[in-house]
Structures are given as structure tokens and as C-alpha cells.
Chain A
Amino acid sequence: MLSDNVNALVIGVAIGSVYGLIAIGYSIVYAATRVFNLGQGDLITVGVLLSYYLLVVAGWVGLAAFAAIVASVAIISVIEERVVVRPALRRADSIGWFITTLAFGVIVRNIYQNLYGNAEARAIPSPLSSKAIQIGSVVISPQELLAIIALLAITVAVELFYHRTWWGHAMRATSEDRDTAALRGIDPGRVGLLAFAIGGCIAGIAGYVLGPILFSDVNEALSLSLKGFLAIAIGGFGSIRGALLGAWALGMTEQMVDLHSSAAYEPVAGLGLVLLVLIVRPTGIFGGAAEREV
């Protein structure tokens, strides 16, 4: 029984890493622009579908496909920032960007759904071996391991970018106080654009890594978007580490619920966890306490 639990927790970390890859894309964009990009799940799905198309239909080699996917998704993300996000930021409330990013996601979804047609979701071959790795009683597929490694690598890369580069400092400054940053010669518009570009790159990487796990499913984007949100709500907004840990906590909770009751309660468990965090600590585990603005 113990081994079942351990196994569920490890799978939870792997599934959590899927959510984490979504959540980190959100975090980057949110920190710089205070926009929660509801199209992120669709960007990742574009990455998944492109990896299906390039690897399975067009027969590209892995690395070329990877570069093409990351570049294309980043371009779509930049288009999103320009066309629907920046104009919406002129409105004072959050309803503007909430709706435009949601609508952008819906548009992108409609396009890829029509391109993909009614075909069934198909498996995407993994570049790694398909043979499961067994460590003690824990069984994990190489691709799931790759998701965990990719998440850790991206987290480290983002933290390094934040602390070691000028643009990283600029981005953190903008997230702290947009107006003061602007006074210091940082253009919040360019920071926003860069954030969406990086968010798009991460979505592309996530799409490539998650493809073999998720299959070429055209209907999962909204659900992915929301799982990423739950991870951040648990971990705390604006914190990269928080996103990572929140995602793992969500993944592990889901797997434990799955193991001990039924898969039907899995989505409810996520919501329950978020509500619990909201009641105990509304800003998330790693989010700072906010003084109200008068």
C-alpha cells in the first residue's frame, strides 16, 4: 500500500510538472503586465499539434521541429500581445484583458480545431525510449521524467534571467511598480512584449514536451489553462517558485484523491485545495500580503 502511495506522489509530481509548465508561462506574463493570459492553454495546444504535424505528418527530425515549434508559438504570443492585450490595458478594470485574452484563445482554438478536423486524438511519438523506468517501486515513463526536468530547467533559467540580466531586472521592476519603472527609463510596453515572447517560448517548449503525454487532443486547452491557474492560485501570484510548488501540490493532491477515492473527484480536489488556500491565505502560499489601495 505504501508503494502505491509513493508511486501516486511521484506521478503527481510528473502531472504537476505539466501544470507547472503552463503556470510558469502565466507567471512570466503576469509579473510583467498584470495580465493573466487566458490564451496560454491554447498556445500550448498549438505547440502540441505542431509537434504532431511536424513529427508525424511531415516527418521532421526532433531538433528542427523543436525550434520551429518554439518560434511559431512565440510569434503567436507576440501577436496576441500586440493585437488584443495592449489595447485592452487602456481600460482601468481587469474585465478588458480577461475577455480579450479569452477571446484570442477561442479564436486560435477555432482555427486549429478546423485545421485538425474531426480526427481522433492521436499519440505523438516520444523522442525518448517508451520503456518505463523503474526505481524501487516507482514506475515512471521517460517522457514524464522529461517534463519534470524541463520544468526545473525553465524555472532555473527564468530565475537566472530575473536576477542576472538587465531585462530581467527591468521586468521585476515593472512588476513592482509600473510607473516608477517607466520613470527610470524602462519601457513597460517593451517589457510586456518581451514577457509575451518568453511566455510563448515556454508554451512552445511545453507543447513539445507534453505532446507525447497529452496526445493531439484539440479540446483540452481551457482545462489546461485553468489547471495552470489553480497551480498559481495555490503557490501565489508573481512567484516563480510558488508556481512550481503549487503545481506539484496540485498534481500530488489529484493523484492521491485518484488513488484513494475515484478519478471523478480529481477536478473537485483541485478546486477544494484552492478554496482551502484562499480561506487560510488568500494571496497563495508564496504570495506577499497586499495592503488595500485607497
Chain B
Amino acid sequence: MSRISTPAVSRWLRRWSFSIVVVLALAGLPPLRGWTDFDLLRLDHIIALVMVAIGLNVVTGFAGQLSLGPGAVFAVGGYVAAILAFHYPDHVNLPVMCAVGIGAAAIVGLIAGVPALRVSGFYLGMVTLYLALLIPSIVDSFEVTGGNNGIDLLQKFPDFTQDLSGMPLYEVTLGAMLAVVAFTGLLLYSRVGRRFTALRTSEVLAESLGVKAYRTKLLAFVISALPAGLGGAFYVYSQELISKSSIDPLISINLLAACVIGGFGRVWGPVVGGAIVLGLDQFGSNIPLVGERLQEWELLINGVLLILIILLLPEGLVGFRPLDALRRLRRRGVELRVVRFPPTVMSSGPPPLRRCAEPAGVFELSGISKRFGGVLAVDGVDLTLRPGSLHALIGPNGSGKTTLLNVASGFYRNDSGTMTVGNVRTRGGDAVGVARLGVARTFQTPKLIAGVSILDNVLVAADTTVACTGFESVFRLPRGIRCHHVARERALDCLRHVGLEAAAGLHAGEAPHGTRRLVEIARAMATDPLFLLLDEPAAGLSPAEVEGLKRMLRSLSAAGVGVLLVEHNMPLVLDLADEVTVLHRGSRIAHGGPAEVRRHPDVMRVYLGAA
């Protein structure tokens, strides 16, 4: 004991104590209480549904896509398993049913996901809620699904599940759920999970890192279907029947409630929330005196709980840290930040970039125009970014700087003009393609992934520079682990370069503004870019931080990166830039070295109002 340092132990305890308590409680509860088989059956029911909630957590909590699809997938997985068991009772056992349930889930997830994911936000939520409503009415009207009566295995084969029941079945079901929890834990802290959280933060952010938003959404959608299908199979196996009432759309709402109450995006969230919501559903009537009332008003209780949690504890019960909240109340805002965020010490050494040694050619924009309705925001602008040179883009508010940057980074489709990186032709509107050519960017309002550490925010970008598959990363295969170490080192190097190494482990959501900007720059650097587009990086930085930023930008261009700097801070621009382009009302009115541009009559007129 004495050999292990105390901080390591406490960190380990902090990370795992919750999991240990939950696992012990779940495994120990029924035998200690001496529960009857009927109680165990209800527990099996709860656990099967919790698996569905865990799937919901993957797509909505991790990837931020509001979806009620898992409830519908649960129904399909359950019915397919039941139909199979009904027709081939001799060949079907639990593993087969699970495999079939998962397989059916994957297929349904893919079929539903491909069209549904063309939309996002609440729209996706509505379409999937409709799906959950649709399936009960479909099974109602077909013979193969048993119509209104559903499929009752026990009625047809009185000794159907002899090989596993009671306590052993509970243990197996519990084991399966814990395996699913462990899987989502591995998933969340893998390169796949990091992409999901980037997507959750903003589709734009994900694409700026070269992550294909649609594909990532589809992956999240399909992965979320797998535990739902498994839950369906376990449901049918333990309850020995499935019918319209087993897949009521209210279940989807209950599962949503479970995730919200437990905490979306937390690995244990759906389990804790599920224990509360589904426990009330199954065992509420056991509570003496109020039991009957409780069942009558179950929906109301869930609804009120949902509203209270969403409004008061948006992180859910698992994310709720009463000690932190107390601490925050004691010492407010600013002081807390000073205490928790170490001062930045930017390095003046070379940045941790590899690619810029290669001859890259130039990033050439020519004749770019962009129109919004009747407004010509950018009008035939030419701009060239050279490796190792810093190009400043200045102009009054509304002159089209950010619009041009959004075209250059591929987020806006340009109405005319051409873009080439090196000798590769590219186009506005293809953000992922532009990013993959080695063009990185930051945003005027930093887009940091909340709920994960600053290191993870940079890691998601560093992941794009190492070659390993999501599978290798999720299941911690040797190559996945090796790649993770390389990416992690790279992310730490980038953080060190912007002076945030000491803050790597802190929560990004709590970072003050200056820190957020620096994290974004570190993240852009971590993609190992050839060209870097910075949208007002100095806005909101302290004078000391601006000095650090200057040193950093110099070292970046010294290392061979071509930097485009959109900026209002004129001293900074004139001090750093090799080339300056001035925009006014969408057109380029001047271009040249800083000294030349400063003397340009049009520029003086626009900036100083001189005649």
C-alpha cells in the first residue's frame, strides 16, 4: 500500500468507485433480499429496457442526435427473436436469439438511419418518435407478428426456457447489461467516441476536423441500435412473450426520461435513470400505502421529474456533483477560474508539426464570390496563402472577411471562382474535403466540446493524424493503443506549445475565454495542417496572451505553415503579417506588404474616414 502514491489511489477511486458500487449493488441485491422468481422476472424486464436506454445514450448522449429510434429497434429485435423462437423452438436458444436480435437491429438501424439522418435536431427526434408510434400499429395488423395478441412463447411451448431461468437468468442478463455498459465506456473514450462528442458540440466543428458528419451520425445510429436489439432478445427470452403492449411508444418516452434523469452522455446515466424510472414502473405498486396511487400517477411523476432535471440539473443525477456545486457557491466565478486554470506559459520553440517540411504549393483562391439572397458578401476576391508566410485579412465590420474564410474552409459554397490547394482543385461547400487537404481553422466563437477534458478536445484532432480503425481503438487492440499513445503525445505537444499543458486534464466547459481560444489553436495545430485559417484569434485575449500568440504565430510560419489571419487588432496585424489583403464591402481594395497597405489611400479612407 505504501508504494502506491495517494493521489493515484484517490484518482483510481474517483474514477471507478461509482462503477464498483453499482455492480455490487446490482449483483448482491436480489440474493440478499431473497426475491421471488416473479420479482426477478420484473428485474429482467427492467434490465432489458435499460440496455435500450444505453443505446439511446450512445446516439443522443454521446453523438448529440436527438433520436427515439432505439425504442423502435427494441421492438423489431424482440419480434424477430420471438418469431424465430416460435417457429424453430428446438434450434433457438439465448445466444442465437441475441445474435438474431442484434443482427436485425443493425439492419433496421441502417435502413431507418439512411433517410432519417438527412435531418437533425428536433426534426430527427420527431421522425424517430413517429417510428416508435408506427411499429405497434404495424405488428397489430400482421399475422406473422401475432396481431393484437402478440407472440406468446409460453402458451405454445410450456417448457420453453427451461435451460435458464430465475437467478441464473438474472445473472446472465445483468452480465450482458454490464458488458454493454463497459462497451459504451470503451466507446466514449475511444477515437470514435471523441468524434461523436465533436459532432454533439457542432456539426461544423466535426467537419472542420475532417470528420464526415453524416457518416458519423449513421455510425452512432447503428451502434445505438445494437444494445436495443440485444435488449429486445433478452426481453423475449425472459418474459417469454412479446405483444403490442410490450412496445408501447410510452416506453420510448420512459427511456428518454431514464437517460435525462440519469444524465445523457454519462456512461452510467441510463442505468441510474433506468433504475429510477423503470423501477417505479415495475415495483412502484409494492410501496405500502402510496403504491396504488403511485402507479396511477406514474406518468405525471415522470413528467415532473423530467422537467425538474432538465431545468435544474441538466447534467443529470450522475453528472451532478453536490460538492462541486457547493464549492462553486462558496467562491464564485472569477476566483474559481484563477484557482483551477494555471497561467499559460507559451513555448517559443518550434511547433510540433511534421507535414510542413514537405513542399506544399500554395492555397490559391481566385475570383471568389458569395451571395446571400440580394447581398453580395464577397465579390470576386483573389487571395493566395503561401507556406511559411502570414497573410492578414482585414477590413471593417461586414466587409466579408469571415464569409471569405468560410468559403476557404469549405463551409460556404462559393457562387463563382476557384480554389486550389497545391495542385488539387477543391471547392467551397466541401468542408471535409478541404480539411483533409490540410487546411485547419478556428472559429470566432470557440467551439469547445463541453463535458470532456481539454486534452480530449485536442485529441479528437490529433486522432486524424494517426492511422488506425475505430474498431482497433474501441476494443483497445495493440495498434489502437499504439496509435492512441502517438495521438496523445501529439495533443500534449500542441497544448504545451500554447502553454496549456498544465490544464490538459481540466474540464473544457469551464475554461475561461482566453483559454478557449488557445485550446482551439492547439486543436487546429494538432491536425498537422499545411494552412491555418484563424478567425480573430486575439479577440478577448489579455495583453500577455496576445504577446504569446504573436510568438506562436511567428513560430508557426517559421515552421512552414501558411497562416491566414482575420483580425481587428491592427498593431498585431502590422507587426506580424508578410502580406495584407483589405476587404471593403466584399471587394478587395488593397493588397501588399503591411507598410504599403497602411499608406494606401483607399485603406486610409475606409479606416480613418479621411477624404
- Which of A's residues lie within 8 Å of B, judged by CB? 36, 83-84, 87-88, 91, 93-100, 102-104, 106-107, 109-111, 113-114, 222-223, 226, 229-230, 233, 262-264, 267-268, 270-271, 274-275, 278-279, 282, 291-294
Distance between A37 CB and nearest chain B CB, rounded to angstroms: 11
Choose from B204, B256, B299, B302 the contact partner of A292 (Cβ within 8 Å): B204
Query: Which residues of A are found within 8 Å of B553, using beta-carbon distances?
Result: none
- Counting CB contacts under 8 A, is B393 at the interface? no
In the bound complex, do residue A110 and residue B310 qualify as a contact, i.e. CB atoms below 8 Å apart?
Answer: no
Q: Are A294 and B300 in contact (CB under 8 A)?
A: no
Q: Which residue of B lies closest to A262 (CB)?
A: B141
Q: How far is the CA of A263 from the CA of B123 in the complex (A)?
A: 26
Choice from B126, B297, B304, B402 contacting A36 with Cβ under 8 Å: B126
Chain A CB within 10 A, most for which of B142, B303, B304, B372: B303
Per a CB cutoff under 8 Å, which of A100, A222, A230, A275 touches B307? A100
Contact B115 A278 (CB under 8 A): yes
From B142, B253, B296, residue with most partner A Cβ within 10 Å? B253
Contact, CB under 8 Å: A110 / B303:
yes
Is B109 close to A, CB under 8 A? no
Chain A: CB-nearest residue to B297: A110
For B92, the chain A residues whose CB sits under 8 A away are none
Q: Which 8 A-B pairs have the closest CB atoms?
A: A264-B141, A110-B299, A107-B303, A103-B306, A103-B303, A110-B300, A106-B303, A94-B122
**Considering the complex, which residues of chain B in the window 288-311 have a beta carbon less than 8 Å from any beta carbon of chain A?**
296-300, 302-304, 306-307, 310-311
Against A, the Cβ 8 Å flags (1 = close, 0 = not) of B61-75 are 000101000000000
Cβ contacts under 8 Å, B118 to chain A: 278-279, 282
List 14 contacting pairs A-B, 8 Å CB cutoff, sorted by A: A87-B311, A94-B121, A95-B66, A97-B122, A99-B256, A99-B306, A110-B298, A113-B299, A226-B133, A229-B130, A264-B137, A271-B130, A274-B127, A293-B204
| Chain B residue nearest in CB terms to A90 | B311
Please, which residues of chain A bring their CB within 8 A of the CB of B299? 106-107, 109-110, 113
Q: What are the residues of chain B within 8 A of A106 when measuring CB–CB? A: 253, 299-300, 302-303, 306
Is B363's CB within 8 Å of the partner chain A?
Answer: no
Is A222 a contact of B249 with CB atoms below 8 Å? yes
* Number of chain B residues whose Cβ lies closer than 8 Å to a Cβ of chain A: 49
Closest-CB distance, A77 to chain B (whole angstroms): 16
Contact B300 A36 (CB under 8 A): no
Interface flag for B531 (CB, 8 Å): no
Contact call B121/A107, Cβ cutoff below 8 A: no
Q: Is B60 an interface residue (CB 8 A)?
A: yes
* C-alpha spacing A129/B233, complex, angstroms: 53
Binary contact track B303-331/A, C-beta < 8 Å → 1, others 0:
11011001100100000000000000000
Is A229 within 8 A of B126, CB to CB?
Answer: yes
CB pair A36–B122 under 8 Å, yes or no, is: yes
Q: Is B125 an interface residue (CB 8 A)?
A: yes
B66 and A94 contact, CB distance less than 8 A = yes
B260 on the A face (CB < 8 A) = yes
Residues of A within 8 A of B314 (CB): 91, 96
Instruction: Say how far A283's CB is from chain B's closest CB, in angstroms.
Output: 10
Q: Are A271 and B131 in contact (CB under 8 A)?
A: yes
- Assess whether A268 is in contact with B304, with CB atoms less than 8 Å apart: no
Q: A98-B122, A99-B307 provided; 11 other pairs, C-beta below 8 A?
A: A94-B121, A102-B253, A102-B256, A104-B307, A106-B306, A107-B300, A110-B299, A226-B129, A226-B130, A229-B126, A264-B138
A93–B88 Cα gap in the complex (Å)? 47
CB of B27 within 8 Å of the partner chain:
no
In Å, the complex CA distance between A98 and B131 comes to 17
Give the docked Cα–Cα distance between A107 and B298 (Å).
9
- Inter-chain CA distance A293–B443, complex, in Å, is 12
Residues of B within 8 A of A103 (CB): 257, 302-304, 306-307, 310
Q: Nearest Cβ in chain B — how far from A5, in angstroms?
A: 23
Q: What B residues does A87 contact at CB under 8 A?
A: 311
Which A residue's beta carbon lies closest to that of B60?
A95
B144 touches A (CB below 8 Å): no
B130, B298, B372 pick with most chain A CB within 10 angstroms: B130
Q: How many angstroms between the C-alpha atoms of A95 and B130 in the bound complex?
A: 17
Min CB distance B56 to A, Å, is 12
How far, in Å, is A266 (CB) from chain B's closest CB? 9
A278 contacts B256, C-beta separation under 8 Å: no
Interchain CA distance A246-B114 in the complex, whole Å:
23
What distance in Å separates the Cβ of B499 from its nearest Cβ neighbour in chain A?
27
B282 to chain A, nearest CB (A): 18
Give the complex CA separation of A102 and B142 in angstroms.
Answer: 30
Q: Identify A233's interface contact among B126, B141, B306, CB under 8 A.
A: B126
Query: A291 to chain B: which residues have CB within 8 Å?
Result: 372, 412
Q: Kindly report which residue of chain B lies nearest to residue A282, judged by CB atoms.
A: B118
Complex contacts, B115 vs chain A, CB 8 Å = 275, 278-279
List the B side residues contacting A102 at CB < 8 Å. 253, 256, 306
CA distance A222 to B133 in the complex (A): 8
A117–B248 CA distance with the chains assembled, in angstroms: 19
Nearest CB on B from A177, distance (A): 13
In the complex, whether B411 has a CB less than 8 A from a CB of chain A is yes
Contact of A230 among B121, B130, B300 (CB under 8 A): B130
CA distance A278 to B66 in the complex (A): 17
Residues in B neighbouring A111, C-beta threshold 8 A: 300
Interface residue B406 (Cβ < 8 Å from any Cβ of A):
yes
* Per-residue A-contact encoding for B222-260, CB less than 8 Å = 1, 0 else: 000000000000000000000000000100010011001
User: Contact flags (1/0) for B433-473 with A, using CB distance below 8 Å?
Assistant: 00000000001000000000000000000000000000000
A291 nearest in chain B by CB position: B372
- Are B412 and A294 within 8 A (Cβ)? yes
Rounded to whole angstroms, the CA-CA distance of A104 and B338 in the bound complex is 41
Quick check: B296 and A268 within 8 Å, CB to CB?
A: no
CA distance A103 to B443 in the complex (A): 36
Residue contact A96 to B253, C-beta cutoff 8 Å: no
The reply to whether A294 and B130 form a contact with Cβ atoms under 8 Å apart is no
User: Which residues of B lie under 8 Å from residue A98 when comparing CB positions?
Assistant: 66, 122, 125
Tell me the bound Cα distance from A266 to B253 in angstroms. Answer: 23
Q: Find A114's partner among B133, B253, B296 (CB 8 Å cutoff).
A: B296
Q: How far is the CA of A292 from the CA of B203 in the complex (A)?
A: 10
What 0/1 pattern do residues 94 to 105 of B give for CB contact below 8 A with A?
A: 000000000000
Residue in chain B with minimal CB distance to A93: B64
